[in-house]
Amino acid sequence: MEAARAVRFLLVVCSCLALPPRAKPVCPERCDCQHPQHLLCTNRGLRVVPKTSSLPSPHDVLTYSLGGNFITNITAFDFHRLGQLRRLDLQYNQIRSLHPKTFEKLSRLEELYLGNNLLQALAPGTLAPLRKLRILYANGNEIGRLSRGSFEGLESLVKLRLDGNALGALPDAVFAPLSNLLYLHLESNRIRFLGKNAFAQLGKLRFLNLSANELQPSLRHAATFAPLRSLSTLILSANSLQHLGPRVFQHLPRLGLLSLRGNQLTHLAPEAFWGLEALRELRLEGNRLSQLPTALLEPLHSLEALDLSGNELSALHPATFGHLGRLRELSLRNNALSALSGDIFAASPALYRLDLDGNGWTCDCRLRGLKRWMGDWHSQGRLLTVFVQCRHPPALRGKYLDYLDDQQLQNGSCADPLPSASLTADRRRRPLPTAAGEEMTPPAGLAEELPPQPQLQQQGGFLAGVAWDGAARELVGNRSALRLSWRGPGFMGTGVSADFSGFQSHRPRTTVCALSEADLIEFPCDRFMDNAGGGAGGSLRREDHLLQRFAD
Question: Does residue 432 lie within any of the structural domains?
Answer: yes
Dist. CA 136–CA 151, nearest whole Å: 10
The CA distance from 403 to 371, in Å, is 10
Burial class (CB in 10 A: 0-12, 13-18, 19+), 486: middle
Q: Which of helix, strand or coil describes residue 6? A: helix
Beta bridge partners of residue 185, listed in sequence order: 161, 209
Per-residue model confidence (pLDDT) at position 28: 87
Q: Are strands 305-307 and 329-331 parallel, antiparallel or unpaired?
A: parallel
Distance CA 364, CA 344 (A): 17
Q: Is residue 323 part of a domain?
A: no
Q: pLDDT tens string for the chain (552 positions)?
A: 566 666 566 655 455 444 444 445 578 888 998 888 999 999 999 999 998 877 877 888 999 999 999 999 999 999 999 999 999 999 999 999 999 999 999 999 999 999 999 999 999 999 999 999 999 999 999 999 999 899 999 999 999 999 999 999 999 999 999 999 999 999 999 999 888 899 999 999 999 999 999 998 988 888 999 999 999 999 999 999 999 999 999 999 999 999 999 999 999 999 999 999 999 999 999 999 999 999 999 999 999 999 999 999 999 999 999 999 999 999 999 999 999 998 999 999 999 999 999 999 999 999 999 999 999 999 999 999 899 999 999 999 999 999 998 889 887 666 544 443 333 333 334 444 444 444 444 444 434 444 444 444 444 443 334 343 433 333 333 333 333 333 333 333 333 333 333 333 333 333 333 333 333 333 333 433 334 344 444 444 455 555 555 455
Classify residue 437: in a domain, yes or no.
yes
Burial of 257 (0-12, 13-18, 19+ CB in 10 A): buried
Strands 390-392 and 432-433: unpaired
**Number of domains comprising the chain:** 1
pLDDT of residue 6: 62
Instruction: Compute CA 503 distance to the chain's CA centroid, rounded to the nearest angstrom.
Output: 33
Residue 110 belongs to what H/E stretch? none
Dihedral of the alpha carbons of 527, 528, 529, 532, in degrees to the nearest 10: 140
Residue 34: predicted pLDDT: 87
Q: Residue 48 domain-assigned?
A: no
Are the CB atoms for 147 and 170 separated by under 8 Å? no
Q: Beta strand pairing status for 97-98 and 32-35?
A: unpaired
Handedness of CA 339, 341, 342, 343 (dihedral sign): negative
pLDDT of residue 415: 56
- The answer for residues whose C-beta is within 8 angstroms of residue 314's C-beta and 6 or more apart is 290, 291, 335, 336, 337, 338
478 lies in some domain: yes
DSSP state, 389? B
Examine residue 274 and state whether it is found in any structural domain, yes or no: no
Quote the domain boundaries for residue 494. Answer: 427-498
Asked if the structure places residue 485 within a domain, the reply is yes
Q: Is 407 helix (H, G, I), strand (E, B) or coil?
A: helix
As a whole number of Å, the end-to-end CA separation of the chain is 79
Which pLDDT belongs to residue 551? 52
Can you give the pLDDT at residue 448? 42
Is residue 461, in this structure, part of any structural domain at all? yes
